[in-house]
Structure 1
Amino acid sequence: MTNRVLPTPEKFASCPYDGKILSFYEGQFDCVYVLLHPFLRPTTIDIERFCPSMWPDKHEIINGCDAISWQEIIEISGLNSLSDIDVGLRTSIGGLKKELSNELFAKKLVELEQQHIIHPQEGDIPPLLENRLLKTIKELGHNWLWVGDEFGTERKLLWIDDLVEQDEIPPHGCIFTHDHSLLVTTHWDSHCSFLCSSKEMVEKILSLDPFEGFYCTANTEVYWGAYDI
């Protein structure tokens, strides 16, 4: 019996599982910007809805929550850096090896719930970034985007305006342009997404909408908070 082994996913439509981010995309993208997923503060949604069985949908969150930046979280949590937040979030979901986790950081983030601040979800492009990204990509001249799954086995081409109105991106999925010049993807244990393109294109995007985040260096790992970035 022949084992069924999936082919290696194309770099323009996939996410690294571990290791150095720029090394993974070498030969495809020369620039990756880490998009930090905002924390949420509900304004018109009952706080009790934020549990797996009742989690609000995309448009409920867009219309019923304020975004809280990671820089604001540093100011109110007692943590000292973006890396502290990253490690705390990953620790809280069991996404780090024991020697890399930090329960104190996780505890400080859990305490934010007393202020009705909800942690960003891991593994998905968040609603409070999704439509902003889509509208910015459209401003660059794209009208269509491919929407793919995390394994590179399924994809469909969708009109950007329809993507804005609907909720079509699958869990751990990605979006990429037809010419393979731009990719947005999310690692399943990460509370951030990777915006991959040329440096010129990323700078254009940030000039249109200054998304919170940082540029990858040659040393930036997928689990970046636990390592020197």
Structure 2
Amino acid sequence: MGNIFDDEKLYPYQGAIKEHFKDHYDAVFIALLPFFQLDREETDKTNLKKSKLLSHEEALKKIDFLKNLPEANRDIYSYDNERYPADEEIFRGAKAIPWKNIVNGSTLTCYAELNTALRTSIGALNRNFTRPELMEQLNNYTDSESIYHPTEGSFGMLSKITIHKAFKLMGKNQIMITDEFYENTTTVDLDQLTEYEFCDEIGGKDYYLYSADKEALFTIEWDSFFFLIATDQNKIDQLIASNLFEGFLCNDDTDHYWEYTT
């Protein structure tokens, strides 16, 4: 078995999650990216999501090379929704809404259905696995309550705040930040940064955050609405007791596609 840091395998795309990490960590927690509300007059419901499914006409206006392609049954999403709240606005005034509340309010039955609804909403699923009826249940509820959806594949501002608190709780101050393709790693000292400055250091494509001693790892991948916390059992117990994160512990069989097996 290689070293996941040396081998650049900090996310377990296939197979059992705990097995992937077994040489480094004995416990892994699946942490769910929270929804949120803002005290903000919101009239256009498309602003509640970072991504937007474009019509064929909208796609042609935004993407030149499509003009040269034959028309096809393809879904194209845009992420330049300028009315979706900026990080600073979320940091200053967002109220986190847990998945549990969304499940209860939307008539979805569980986290697995909510994850499928979210993944359907961004076109992340093969057409055989999409569940438009679940997406509609979700959107009807979040639209009615002006609840913003998390953005997939990045540590959102609210998660960065809780990760900062978690590192402090574990007594970890030297933190490594590595991007998706392992091209850049920066080290930050939490004692030298405010909470907001720490959050601001983490870019949208920074997928791996870990203590310099590698005892705790936070890792995400590009189309997920959750991230993984890998560490030892004592620290996981400490984090669960802190109620910083909503989610669940991996068992021996849990994999990246947990919504199909839970």
Query: Is the structural similarity TM-score above 0.5?
Result: yes
Unaligned runs of 5+ in 1: 1-7
User: Secondary structure of the residue that 2:36 maps to in structure 1?
Assistant: strand
Bigger mean CA offset, 183-192 vs 48-57: 48-57
Partner of 2:93: 64
The structural deviation recorded for 1:213 is 0.5
In the alignment, the residues of structure 2 paired with residue 199 and residue 193 of structure 1 have an alpha-carbon distance, to the nearest angstrom, of: 17
Partner of 1:32: 28
Relative to the length of structure 2, the TM-score reads 0.77
Q: Within 5 A, what are the aligned runs for 1:186-201?
A: 186-201=220-235
Aligned partner (choices 159, 163, 185) of residue 155 of structure 1: 185
Partner of 2:161: 131
Quick check: 1:74 aligned with 2:103? Answer: yes
In the alignment, the residues of structure 2 paired with residue 163 and residue 221 of structure 1 have an alpha-carbon distance, to the nearest angstrom, of: 35
In the alignment, the residues of structure 1 paired with residue 159 and residue 195 of structure 2 have an alpha-carbon distance, to the nearest angstrom, of: 11
Distance 1:121 1:18, change over 3 A: farther
In the alignment, the residues of structure 1 paired with residue 168 and residue 7 of structure 2 have an alpha-carbon distance, to the nearest angstrom, of: 22
* Counterpart contact for 1:45–1:65, Cα < 8 Å: no
1:23-79 per-residue CA deviation (whole Å, 9 max, x = no partner) reads 222312221101111111121475656553423332210222211111101111010
The structural deviation recorded for 1:209 is 3.4
Distance 1:46 1:164, change over 3 A: farther
In the alignment, the residues of structure 2 paired with residue 181 and residue 73 of structure 1 have an alpha-carbon distance, to the nearest angstrom, of: 33
Q: Which runs of at least 4 in structure 1 moved beyond 6 Å after TM superposition?
A: none
In the alignment, the residues of structure 2 paired with residue 210 and residue 38 of structure 1 have an alpha-carbon distance, to the nearest angstrom, of: 11
Q: How many residues align?
A: 221
Distance 1:21 1:10, change over 3 A: farther
In the alignment, the residues of structure 2 paired with residue 47 and residue 62 of structure 1 have an alpha-carbon distance, to the nearest angstrom, of: 22
The structural deviation recorded for 1:149 is 0.6
* Counterpart contact for 2:42–2:146, Cα < 8 Å: no
In our comparison, the structure showing a higher alpha carbon Rg is 2
* Counterpart contact for 1:14–1:151, Cα < 8 Å: no
